[in-house]
Amino acid sequence: MTDSVQLDPYEGPAGGWGSAKSLTEILLREQIPVTGGLMLRHQNKPGGFMCVSCAWAKPGKPAVFEYCENGAKATAWEVTRKRIGAEFFAAHTVTELTGWRDYDLEELGRLTVPLRWDAASDRYLPVSWDAAFAEIGAELKALDPKAAVFYASGRASLETSYMYGLLARLHGSNNLPDSSNMCHESTSVALPESIGSPVGTVLLEAFEHTDCILFFGQNPGSNAPRMLHPLQDASRRGVPIITFNPFRERGLERFTNPQAPLEMLTKSETRISSQYLQVKAGGDFGAIYGICKALLALDDAAIASGAERVLDTAFIAEHTHGFEAFAASVRGKSWDELERRSGLTRKALEQTAATYAKAKATIGVYGMGLTQHRMGVETVQALVNLLLMRGNIGKRGAGICPVRGHSNVQGQRTVGITEKPELVPNDKLRELYAFEPPMEKGLNTVEACEGILDGSVKAFVALGGNFIRAVPETALMEEAWKTLRLTVQISTKLNRNHLIHGEVAYILPCLGRIEIDEQAGGRQAVSMEDSTACIHGSKGYAEPAGPELLSEPRIVAGIAKATLTPNPRIDWDRWGGDYASVRDAIEATYPDQFKDFNARMWTPGGFRRPIPAADRTWKTDTGKANFVTPRSLSADPDTEQADPEVMRLITMRSNDQFNTTIYGYDDRFRGVKGTRMVLFMNRDDIARLGLRDAQTVHLVGATDDKVVRRVEGFRVLAYDIPTGCVGGYYPECNPLIPLWHHAERSKVPAAKSVPVRIEAASA
Ligand SMILES: Nc1nc2c(c(=O)[nH]1)N[C@H]1C(S)=C(S)[C@@H](COP(=O)(O)OP(=O)(O)OC[C@H]3O[C@@H](n4cnc5c(=O)[nH]c(N)nc54)[C@H](O)[C@@H]3O)O[C@H]1N2
Ligand SMILES: Nc1nc2c(c(=O)[nH]1)N[C@H]1C(S)=C(S)[C@@H](COP(=O)(O)OP(=O)(O)OC[C@H]3O[C@@H](n4cnc5c(=O)[nH]c(N)nc54)[C@H](O)[C@@H]3O)O[C@H]1N2
Ligand SMILES: [Mo]
């Protein structure tokens, strides 16, 4: 640990001067003139480019600067002046580079030439695009289609994603895992059963009309900072914002808008949360049940006194199914159990229920704190139940609001990136392209990992991402990865997954979304879908990082042409040269969702796909919104061990990273500087386990499956979190997560409740 490591409580608000300073530092480091706000001016604007960071909604009437600190960092990271080309790879063996830190690899700058790993010299050597496509095609053709996996990280555009999904299906499988499988898949499984739509029901304007916001397990200050603007406005209107989070996240406490000069000069802050409940990791399930129980009691009291009912009985009768069974299950739970599971007091939950009971329109917001648990699906459904009790779906100012991660992760699913054939319009594909789409379920992320471990998966094509770093069970996965026959990484920057590679390995460098994309059909634009199902066009403004880069659609087209038998109905070159023609194909495949796609993609604020649940049309098995009653309230059976030394590890993001991309070693809002190897712990646990603040410790997995899981060298940091829980950063902690430790129904790795033990390092 170096001397520069500091652990100081951060006293400021989210946003504010700290944000401006942090951004300036990164612009300087990436050699982008600080006055070059020029690029950022186009960010998230109609006619501009859509941020490559998070998926938060983009308003129709944007601010002058519609970007945040982290969105600007993501832009700077992509338009950096730094480059790596053939000379760099000639100078370093791959084995040597595997010793480099994630930060140092990406700091090298943008990849500029296609590369093929050369076994004799253990180096990546430049290769022509034609030769790359030819060999990749030959390798894929030689394989049983089921042995090939086509992974997508949620950033690629709707156009690229559509082409990529078709490539996999024409090749013969539904092996299309995506980053959503590690993220909001719990949402994609939970919501269709509950309300018949797989995505959230709110639009941005709901925040202008809401009376109450229930906010579960999402950290907007770091991960969706533009969301602090509607939250700030709501708070100023006196809207209660009730937060459930084991950590006291600064962005959920107070905020200074770095783009409001008066606020900056006067250092004025807005309080964000009105009530802050530090729920135990995985305790939301119990907490939500507690609020439901208190709500039923308030309703009973209203009936007894003749006051207005607390439940929306008309809505429940007309629009829902299963209420009685759910209510009986809630009444059957004791307060003792609910307090124990949530780590919260009955009084606090009754207070939440009282606030909720008064609100005419409530939004339920959530992120990874709900989805990344063994019972992630059931927990999301419990939140929907709570909203349904007062008719809070399909009403102005109300709804369910999953905050999606990657900027187009929701859209990729919309246009066919999924391993589930039932989500694909196969009849349309048959009709349009005259082929028989594969009807067997493909592999999701966890299943792809299992297939790599057992040798049944032989080729892995990655459209973005740093898969090996993002998935659980890092140690076993890295070893197994080397046995793959073919690995193809379509990427912008060097990362660890390029260095852990297969026998035949390619790195294919692509244009980023912010760059000018000239093709045969002229300057191209792409499109993406935000967290609120609004679809936006996006046009690049920056000079491409190098003359040899190809766009993602061109790369997908290149692989497709080299791999597939020609299909007279698909002209891959035309698609790669004119993305409007891909949008026409998307519209033909999904006519209800993408009507007049090309004409509407520049609508300010985006155009919304129809979301039936938002209009109270329930596409469920019962034709109604379903109250789903769970089997038990145990959110994470593995962490509910009798042994008091087994802790629940929460793995999460710092303010200085985008997933596995590490921008820096500070986590300003949590007071951490110069390191990512900290272990956040409650003071009482530190004392109970005989440890000291700032002591060095190791973490070891606490499951009895005989696999040794271990990460060394954390520094203990006393922190205000519930006892029994500890916190650390992802991806450093990923070797501690068993592959099987995932949400039971969605297979999202349960990264927020990993059973671990703490070992003191010997002095
Ligand atoms: N700058 C930046 N932006 C990003 C990303 C990034 O890495 N950096 N990643 C993008 C992606 S892909 C995604 S999916 C999103 C992720 O955004 P988030 O959903 O915010 O993800 P995390 O940072 O993993 O953690 C979320 C929060 O959950 C809390 N938490 C942990 N366990 C629990 C629990 O059991 N219950 C409750 N109630 N809370 C809990 C943590 O304290 C933390 O505040 O952000 C996207 N945006
Ligand atoms: N323990 C733990 N593990 C987690 C999580 C957690 O909370 N805890 N979160 C999970 C979640 S929610 C997610 S989404 C995953 C994500 O995890 P990752 O796969 O790491 O996410 P990315 O940000 O997609 O990957 C970064 C890489 O994408 C490439 N890239 C960047 N821009 C582009 C582009 O425009 N095109 C292309 N082709 N490539 C590009 C760059 O080469 C970069 O190195 O991690 C998951 N893993
Ligand atoms: Mo994500």
The single-letter code of the amino acid at 94 is V
Give the integer Cα–Cα distance in Å for 407 and 153. Answer: 10
pLDDT at 727: 98
Q: Which of 80, 182, 663 to mutate to test the pocket of ligand 2 (most atoms within 8 A of CB)?
A: 182
- Residue 76's pLDDT is 87
Does residue 264 surpass a pLDDT of 80? Answer: no
Whether pLDDT at 351 is above 50: yes
Task: Return the residue whose CA atom lies nearest to atom 25 of ligand 2.
Answer: 465
Atom number in ligand 1 closest to CA 223: 3
Q: What is the pLDDT of residue 33?
A: 67
φ, ψ of residue 113 in degrees (nearest 5):
-135, 150
Looking at the CA of residue 512, tell me the nearest atom of ligand 2: 35
Residue ranges near ligand 3 (ion) with Cβ within 5 Å? 183, 405
In the chain, CATH 2.40.40.20 covers 638-760
Please report where in the chains the tokens 């996996």 appear, as a residue: 149
Predicted pLDDT at 254: 83
Task: Indicate the residue type of 162.
Answer: Y
Characterize the bridge pairing of strands 504-509 and 486-491: parallel
Question: 382 CA to middle of ligand 3, Å?
Answer: 21
How far apart CA 26 and CA 32 sit, in angstroms, is: 9
Strands, E assignment, 246-288: 254-256, 270-271, 275-277
Residue 271 contacts residue 238 (beta carbons within 8 Å): no
Q: Which atom of ligand 1 is nearest to the CA of 179?
A: 12
CA distance 407 to 525: 16
Q: Quote the CA–CA distance of 53 and 51 in Å, as a whole number.
A: 5
Whole-number Å distance between alpha carbons of 135 and 413: 29
Tell me what pLDDT residue 353 has: 98
What is the Cα–Cα distance from 161 to 527, expressed in whole angstroms? 10
pLDDT band at residue 315 using 50, 70 and 90 as cut-offs: very high
Strands 647-652 and 534-539: unpaired
To test the pocket of ligand 1, the residue of 368, 372, 634, 636 to mutate (highest count of ligand atoms within 8 Å of its CB) is 368
Looking at ligand 1, which atom is closest to the CA of residue 368?
Answer: 19
Q: Where in the chain is the domain with CATH 3.40.50.740?
A: 83-180+408-609
Q: Are 610 and 263 in contact (CB under 8 A)?
A: no
Three-class secondary structure of residue 670 per DSSP? helix
Under the banding of pLDDT at 50, 70 and 90, the label for residue 330 is: very high
Q: Where are the domain boundaries for CATH 3.40.228.10 in the chain?
A: 185-407
Question: Which protein residues are within 6 Å of ligand 1, measured from CB?
Answer: 53-54, 70, 183, 216-219, 222-224, 244-247, 249, 279, 281-282, 284, 367-369, 405-406, 650, 652-653, 657-659, 752
- CB-side exposure of 18: number of CA atoms within 13 Å? 20
Element (H, E) at 460: strand 459-463
The lowest-confidence range among 3-7, 60-64, 246-250 is 3-7
CATH topology of domain 185-407: Dimethylsulfoxide Reductase; domain 2 (3.40.228)
Coil, helix or strand for 141?
Answer: helix
pLDDT at 34 > cutoff 60: no
Cα separation of 146 and 137, whole Å? 15
Q: What pLDDT shows up at residue 30?
A: 82
- Over residues 72-77, mean pLDDT: 87
Report the sign of the C-alpha dihedral through residues 237, 238, 243, 247, in that order: positive
Q: Cβ distance 320 to 622 under 8 Å?
A: no
pLDDT at 36 over 90: no
pLDDT of residue 400: 98
Q: Write the residue with the smallest CA distance to atom 32 of ligand 1.
A: 369
Q: How far is CA 349 from CA 263, 335, 345, in A?
A: 34, 10, 7
Q: What does the block give as tokens for 86?
A: 């053939």
Residue 46 pLDDT: 83
Distance CA 716, CA 434 (A): 60
User: What pLDDT does 2 receive?
Assistant: 38
Q: How far is the CA of 727 from the centre of ligand 3 (A)?
A: 18
Whether the pLDDT of residue 48 is over 90: the answer is no
Nearest ligand atom owner, CA of 489: 2
| Element of type H or E holding 754 | strand 754-760
**289: confidence class by pLDDT, cuts 50, 70, 90:** very high
Is pLDDT of 427 > 80? Answer: yes
Lowest mean pLDDT among 140-144, 267-271, 469-473, 581-585: 267-271
Extract long-range pairs of 322-328: CB within 8 Å, 24+ residues apart.
322/622, 322/626, 322/627, 322/628, 322/629, 323/388, 323/627, 325/627, 325/629, 326/292, 326/385, 326/627, 326/628, 326/629, 327/296
Kindly give the number of the ligand 2 atom that is closest to the alpha carbon of 106: 44
Give the three-class secondary structure for 213: strand
- Average per-residue pLDDT in the chain? 93
Backbone phi, psi, residue 242, to 5°: -110, 120
Q: Is the pLDDT of residue 405 over 60?
A: yes
Range with the lowest mean pLDDT among 222-226, 363-367, 514-518? 222-226
* pLDDT tens, position by position, 210-246: 999 999 999 998 899 889 999 999 999 999 999 999 9
d(CA 190, CA 382): 10
- CATH number for 83-180+408-609 (one of 3.40.50.740, 1.10.10.10, 3.90.1150.10, 3.40.390.10): it is 3.40.50.740
The amino acid sitting at 703 is T
- Distance, CA 464 to ligand 2 centroid (Å)? 7
Q: Radius of gyration over alpha carbons of the chain, in Å?
A: 25
Strands (E), 570-688: 607-608, 625-626, 647-652, 657-658, 661-662, 672-673, 678-681
Measured in Å, residue 530 CA sits from the centre of ligand 1 at 17
DSSP per-residue letters across 691-705: --TT-EEEEEE--SS
Task: With both helix axes pointing from N to C terminus, report the angle between 346-358 and 284-305 in degrees, rounded to the nearest 10.
Answer: 60
**DSSP calls for 469-537:** HHSS-HHHHHHHHTT-SEEEEEESB--HHHHS--SEEEEEEB--TTB--EETTEE-EEEEE-TTSEEEE
| Nearest CA residue ID for atom 6, ligand 1 | 658
Q: How far is the CA of 404 from the centre of ligand 2 (A)?
A: 13
With CA atoms as reference, report the closest residue to 462 among 758, 176, 746.
Answer: 176
Q: Phi-psi bin for 606: left (phi > 0), alpha (psi -120 to 50), beta?
A: left
DSSP-derived 3-state class of residue 542: strand
**Residue 285 contacts residue 352 (beta carbons within 8 Å):** no
* Look-up of token digits 């004799």: 120
Q: What is the pLDDT of residue 1?
A: 36
Hey, which of 158, 161, 164, 179 would you mutate to test ligand 2's pocket, going by the most ligand atoms within 8 Å of its Cβ?
Answer: 179
Ligand nearest to the CA of 214: 1
Per-residue pLDDT tens for 178-195? 999 999 999 999 999 999
With H, G, I as helix, E, B as strand and everything else as coil, classify residue 201.
coil
| Contacting residues for 763 by C-beta, under 8 A, at least 6 apart | none
Ligand 1, from 188, 219, 243: best to mutate by most atoms within 8 Å of Cβ?
219
Q: What are the DSSP calls for 694-741, one per residue?
A: T-EEEEEE--SSS---EEEEEEEEE-S--TTEEEEETTTTGGGS-TT-
Pocket of ligand 2 (CB under 6 A): 106, 153, 155, 179, 182-183, 368, 372, 405-406, 463-467, 469-470, 490-493, 495, 510, 512-513, 552, 651-652, 658-661, 730, 733-734, 737, 751
Q: Which ligand is nearest to the CA of 492?
A: 2
Query: 387 Cβ partners below 8 Å, 6+ apart?
Result: 362, 364, 393, 398, 399, 400
Helix ranges restricted to H, 654-699: 683-688
Tell me the HSE value of 510 on the side-chain side, using a 13 A CA sphere.
25
Q: Which helix (H) or strand (E) holds 402?
A: strand 399-402
pLDDT digits (tens, 9 = 90+) for 478-494: 999 999 999 999 999 99
Q: Is residue 85 classed exposed, middle or buried when 0-12, 13-18 and 19+ CB atoms within 10 A define those classes?
A: middle
Inform me whether the pLDDT recorded for 35 exceeds 60. Answer: no
667 φ/ψ angles, rounded to the nearest 5 degrees = -130, 80
Integer distance in angstroms from the first to the last C-alpha of the chain? Answer: 14
Residue with CA at minimum distance from ligand 2 atom 23? 659
Copy the structure tokens of residue 6: 């500091």
Q: Which CATH class is domain 638-760?
A: mainly beta
Pairing mode, strands 320-321 and 625-626: parallel
- Hey, how many other C-beta atoms are within 10 angstroms of the C-beta on 515? 22
Residue corresponding to tokens 């692989």: 559
Q: Whose CA is nearest to atom 36 of ligand 1?
A: 369
Residues 653-678: pLDDT tens digits? 999 999 999 999 999 889 999 999 99
Dihedral Cα 622, 627, 630, 635, nearest 10 deg? 130
Cα 59 → chain centroid = 21
Determine if residue 108 is left, alpha or beta; phi over 0 gives left, psi from -120 to 50 gives alpha, anything else beta: alpha
Distance CA 210, CA 207 (A): 5
Q: Which of 225, 247, 241, 50 is nearest to 154 (CA)?
A: 50
